[in-house]
Structure 1
């Protein structure tokens, strides 16, 4: 990657296409050009190597929050003191805060800016997207003051709130704000949203997932200023790091799990539960701190008393929690790269058969796998909560995975649950620690995390049915019509196929980069270096691209250009194979080959049928018609021919003799790039003796002609078949043109049917139920 200092070409906005072609209309000079102005220029904040610059800075926001959960009205009331540190070189006259709960406000743009249509059958979820939500939704700000209690002016624009400062906040200074608010918790199962409650009518209880719930500072950064893009429900968030102290008042029989470490377990737990907690801190197997029996008892016997749980967390970018009386809680100590981490799970009785067996151990495995591939997990806690969804926050995430009422479950539910736990726990690394901007670049957290998820899945179970990561799994997306595609470098709200684009395609690209383009050793070092450089900082795509090249000495501009800035698919065709042998001039060999060619050349269908019909030939019947040529051996090797060859051979150098004696087979192979996305050539040769050999040719073979290349290969053995990309490493969308001679293959429809289980699928056959196990 050329470290250019061109004018700023920011990546923050909309879709970035493959626009600035260097050599339009030509068959070369486009796909291998350096990215140039497509990346922002290096500066003192972000270096050309991809590392933070010598004057890198970022803001900090600390929170002291007191909140009350009303289990009768499903309402949360809170008050917070925010301490904001201006570490930037810029004077600030106002601050922007996020009010994500306002996404439910009927007046917010996200309630109206998507198209909709009617169908013969409408689900409640579909209708809720059309009708304005019934109820009083959104954050109600009741007071905003400075540290002395003096009211501050503020303006709310949908999901963003601007607080006007009475005095300019100069570089190096800090300011304290106090905000009081409340909002009605929504039924996220019907209205949707990241947080809210789930109601269980069978026992008349609630499961509260309290997320994106307090007014919180938006990011102010060197590369875009305030990140005050509205929250519409898809592009998630960008937040500053800080320290938290949270006091959450809930019904006394509720169990609360949250970001950080609880400061008063001794007060909020029973003596037996506290003793089990102490046991869990030494255990190598999950210990039920709150048992299934205790959870069932709490469900049946609600209490009127209340308790306050106190949590603290350091150096995190957000805070979330779960609260309910219908929770089992298990935990175990997990050593991760020298750190002792408490891996924990919270789940209801309906999830017990799956979560008790798998969840906490999957949490522990995820931490170990990700720490190996990125940086050691730095936090003291990692929590998985079963909440019939999938969402992540620092040290806590919400997943799905419930058994049927008889305690059985399908294999799809089990694998989906394990996959989503790995994915959501993995988000602790991207973007909770490597803190990219999810509002702008979903792939920087979802794509990188899905790639690490794939590695963790393959390290969990060799038979795990990973759906995102293997190259051939992205083919059906990449072969879609161009008007349904957009580059990976596209803003979250502008993506049509969000899952394939932001999750699967970048994860597939990184897997290809690791296994096929760079190799594991170079890739793993560079990927860890990126995580190390940008842990607890705010990276951009350019920082990732540059670091991967800087730490590996591999020029990857062609790869970023194709996979991240473009929509072209991979479709490389094996057009032709021509077989050559060296003319060794040995008269015996030459005569033998000539005889074979002569006999083959004079044979034809009429000759064969004449012979079969018993036709009598005059030349054979009448000997007078036979002359010298009738008996002449036209392929006779004469002594003078042998002598001439020996004289020729003896005059050769030793190297020339080795070449003549090698009896090499030369195969001239022509490939065409039908899809447009250049990739390495992986060629499998199968020889006539049944053995195989694979050649790997760098993608740079396309640099002088991006449409078609021809290359000659020398082989000691005779080739029977040639196959391109035999292990399906490159995401080639048409495998029918990948072999010589051509092979018949199942149709794409049949191949698609063979891989219909998506990640997180909760349907499917349940043999466990049928066998009553």
Structure 2
């Protein structure tokens, strides 16, 4: 391997760091030493085999030399190799080094991993998905200097951009799928394949380059010669490829801007009919959808490869799981699982292959943003698409979970609890809430698209993303980033009280009339009710002389004094002030509280007595002085039947029971079962002859 490294920083570099990610599978790796395990009462053979594996993995470095062939000093620290330079590499200068290396390819189905091989025992064939297969340069940036955090297996990759020229020598009957553009198609493809590939460029449906019948024939007749496939890839951060004699291959052109991108799929016969029907169409759809959400896809090709039990991404190529049953049938869940994993992994071309965030440090910056875009693409595939992540209500169970088993989004990739919810689901939900509720679609879409365009082929940090979204929307989102990304708080806003308030008109007849009605319609005390049907005559009934003025006086009767006071009051008021006394509004005072620590806008649904409804949006800034309880008065045009918080499930509120006023009876269900006798035999019965 020959690497030419250019120092684009203003600093001089006395040494270079090279990543040796295959060392994660070395026998003495920290990953193996620190992985926890337990046996319990039982364990599967597969699990025990994985625990006991003594696979001899990791890079074997034969030499490191400069371009003149002189040995270079180097030191290997686990998954990182430091190369010491005789003279520091100055800003703007370049340095070429040559590394000779090799490693044993792992059986991915036995010991796991993002790359390796899958063995098909029935026909003695292999499907290789090869990645992290060469020593790769580490990133030197203006934030951390060298990003040389050790690779433990979860926190993925931080990589610089470069141009690649790669030659891949494989058995002559293998088909190779790879990052980059094939440079020697006439040498490795048949005339029929070349013709089909040319037709596929302008096709609106996938064209078979290698049919299933052809692939079945090839996988049975193994050839002993070799072919070398040569690929060039420009401005990519990584390189991966797949190789097998089992591959069926289809392709179609996708118009993106003023370019035609080739969407292609490679899969064994075991993937059909799912892969023939959906893979390349899902690739094409992803390119169109993501290009609309972010920027036009800049690479010439996008490939989806079927490999069991994996979903992994590299520039222009990804490896995706999902195969039907042997009879070709499949579940609804599998169908949408295949489409979703293809959308997701192809989508990674945008994040982090082009918007090149630091995966080793921040998983959410690519997985979260990508999962958000995936949700948008899924809804453009089918309005009823069963998306697993994205909408606010789908994160509720996670948000209300045991806080000792939850970490903030802004947690290093190696230390995250509940990886999928934390790094995929929660940030995708947060972006959805920003788009639908906090900013609105127009503001959000503008900001997100321009963030992606601005940081193409660069290395953004979380702070860059946060700042850009605020700058492009003129919105202070500090409260949002703090709550959603730096804490494990949850949303739980309640309506504590609601009062229907009427303005006192000061008109004696009107106001005293209301008080009379309240008095006459008030509930009766139980003792008074019983006295009415069973009591003796009272003193005043027996002796009328005990009565005086107050026995017949009703304080709620209108008097001349009341009228005079009213007239004097009205004389002091301006015409505008008088108009307020007759205001034609229904006035309600509501009290709200937050219980989960995470503030959000108050979204108040109002259901009126006449059957109509409306939604009132109150920005989160209402909590800026009192972050626990606030009170607000509403002047409405009609009488209200019910107030509902978050009526359209926008905020991930974890407790719906306190979102209603008047409080609502929450419906639930339980099931009945019939007890049945246990008919299993006891030991005496089993052994009785």
TM-score of the pair, normalised by structure 1? 0.82
Q: Which residue of 1 aligns with 2:365?
A: 444
Aligned pair count reads: 670
Q: Which residue of 1 aligns with 2:661?
A: 740
Match of 2:338 among 381, 402, 417: 417
Structure 2 counterparts to residues 677-716 of structure 1, below 5 A:
677-716=598-637
Contiguous gaps of at least 5 residues in structure 1:
1-79, 751-773
Q: Do residues 161 (structure 1) and 81 (structure 2) align?
A: yes
| Structure 2 CA distance for partners of 1:411 and 1:650, relative to 1, 3 Å | farther
Q: Which residue of 1 aligns with 2:68?
A: 148
Q: Which residue of 2 aligns with 1:22?
A: none
Q: Secondary structure at the match of 1:310?
A: strand
Between structure 1 and structure 2, the one with the greater Rg is: 2
Q: Secondary structure at the match of 2:430?
A: helix
Structure 1 window deviating more from structure 2 (646-655 vs 665-674): it is 646-655
Shift of 1:638: 7.4
Q: Which residue of 1 aligns with 2:414?
A: 493
Match of 1:251 among 171, 174, 177: 171
| Structure 2 CA distance for partners of 1:303 and 1:614, relative to 1, 3 Å | farther
Shift of 1:662: 2.8
Q: Is the 8 A contact 2:290 2:377 kept in 1?
A: yes
Q: Do residues 391 (structure 1) and 300 (structure 2) align?
A: no
Structure 2 counterparts to residues 75-90 of structure 1, below 5 A:
80-90=1-11
Match of 1:130 among 25, 31, 51: 51
Q: Which residue of 2 aligns with 1:97?
A: 18
Partner deviation per Cα, 1:560-598 (whole Å, 9 max, x = no partner): 111111111112222111221111123443243122112
Q: Which residue of 2 aligns with 1:223?
A: 143
Aligned equivalents of 1:397, 1:748: Cα separation in 2: 44
Aligned equivalents of 1:247, 1:545: Cα separation in 2: 41
Q: Do residues 555 (structure 1) and 490 (structure 2) align?
A: no
Partner deviation per Cα, 1:521-553 (whole Å, 9 max, x = no partner): 111111112111111001111111111111111
Shift of 1:633: 7.9
Q: Is the 8 A contact 2:25 2:56 kept in 1?
A: no
Q: Which residue of 1 aligns with 2:467?
A: 546
Q: Secondary structure at the match of 1:594?
A: helix
Structure 2 counterparts to residues 373-392 of structure 1, below 5 A:
373-388=293-308, 389-392=310-313
Partner deviation per Cα, 1:164-202 (whole Å, 9 max, x = no partner): 223321111111111121111101111011100011112
Q: Secondary structure at the match of 2:292?
A: helix
Q: Is the 8 A contact 1:399 1:421 kept in 2?
A: yes
Q: Which residue of 2 aligns with 1:310?
A: 230
Match of 1:522 among 424, 436, 443: 443
| Structure 2 CA distance for partners of 1:309 and 1:512, relative to 1, 3 Å | same
Partner deviation per Cα, 1:317-371 (whole Å, 9 max, x = no partner): 0010110011111111111233211111111112121111111111111111111
Q: Secondary structure at the match of 2:101?
A: strand
Shift of 1:279: 0.5
Q: Is the 8 A contact 1:581 1:663 kept in 2?
A: no
Shift of 1:625: 11
TM-score of the pair, normalised by structure 2? 0.92
Q: Do residues 186 (structure 1) and 106 (structure 2) align?
A: yes
RMSD: 2.6
Aligned equivalents of 1:470, 1:125: Cα separation in 2: 36
Match of 2:491 among 559, 570, 575: 570
Partner deviation per Cα, 1:271-327 (whole Å, 9 max, x = no partner): 111111011011011111111111111111111121111111110000101100111
Q: Which residue of 1 aligns with 2:349?
A: 428
Q: Secondary structure at the match of 2:63?
A: strand
Partner deviation per Cα, 1:186-221 (whole Å, 9 max, x = no partner): 011110111000111122111100111011101111
Shift of 1:493: 0.7
Match of 2:581 among 660, 663, 672: 660
Q: Is the 8 A contact 1:343 1:364 kept in 2?
A: yes
Q: Is the 8 A contact 2:643 2:661 kept in 1?
A: yes
Q: Secondary structure at the match of 2:133?
A: coil
Q: Which residue of 2 aligns with 1:292?
A: 212
Q: Secondary structure at the match of 1:483?
A: helix
Match of 1:205 among 111, 120, 125: 125
| Structure 2 CA distance for partners of 1:749 and 1:161, relative to 1, 3 Å | farther
Aligned equivalents of 2:606, 2:386: Cα separation in 1: 29
Q: Is the 8 A contact 1:187 1:198 kept in 2?
A: yes
Q: Do residues 278 (structure 1) and 183 (structure 2) align?
A: no
Q: Is the 8 A contact 2:50 2:110 kept in 1?
A: no
Aligned equivalents of 1:615, 1:527: Cα separation in 2: 82
Aligned equivalents of 1:256, 1:621: Cα separation in 2: 113
Contiguous gaps of at least 5 residues in structure 2:
672-689
| Structure 2 CA distance for partners of 1:255 and 1:602, relative to 1, 3 Å | closer
Structure 1 window deviating more from structure 2 (610-619 vs 468-477): it is 610-619
Aligned equivalents of 1:369, 1:642: Cα separation in 2: 72
Q: Secondary structure at the match of 1:711?
A: strand
Greater relative contact order structure (CA < 8 Å, 6+ sep): 1
Structure 1 window deviating more from structure 2 (242-251 vs 88-97): it is 88-97
Q: Do residues 232 (structure 1) and 152 (structure 2) align?
A: yes
| Structure 2 CA distance for partners of 1:516 and 1:615, relative to 1, 3 Å | farther
